[in-house]
Amino acid sequence: MKMTNPNDPAFVGIVDNTLQYVPGLTKREYFAGLALNCLQAEYDTVSIDCKSVAKKAVRLADALIAELNKGTK
């Protein structure tokens, strides 16, 4: 199963009795947020370089999406 577009909404909900994507975070934003949460634990909160950590979180999200788009063998 393909991940499809990383800019698609991350979540679905029931709208008018049908399952539909709902506005909010994109898949890419959601995955980056999850990565950021884990990365934060690796850094000293006093000397944290927020910009570098944020960039790393986005790179991790993009790498995850790329792997998911490869599908299963």
- Whether 34 is covered by a domain: the verdict is yes
- Whether 4 is covered by a domain: the verdict is no
- Whether 41 is covered by a domain: the verdict is yes
The contacts of residue 39 (CB under 8 Å, 6+ apart) are: 53, 56, 57, 60
- Whether 33 is covered by a domain: the verdict is yes
Instruction: Say how far apart CA 73 and CA 68 lie, in whole Å.
Output: 11
Instruction: Say how far apart CA 20 and CA 6 lie, in whole Å.
Output: 16
**HSE (side-chain half, CA atoms, 13 Å) at 36:** 15
Structure confidence at residue 2 (pLDDT):
56
The number of distinct structural domains making up the chain is 1
Structure tokens at 52: 């570098």
pLDDT in tens, 50-69: 888 889 999 999 999 998 88
Higher model confidence: residue 36 or residue 49? 36
pLDDT in tens, 8-25: 888 888 888 888 878 889
Q: What is the pTM of this model?
A: 0.72
Q: Note whether 41 and 71 are within 8 A (CB).
A: no
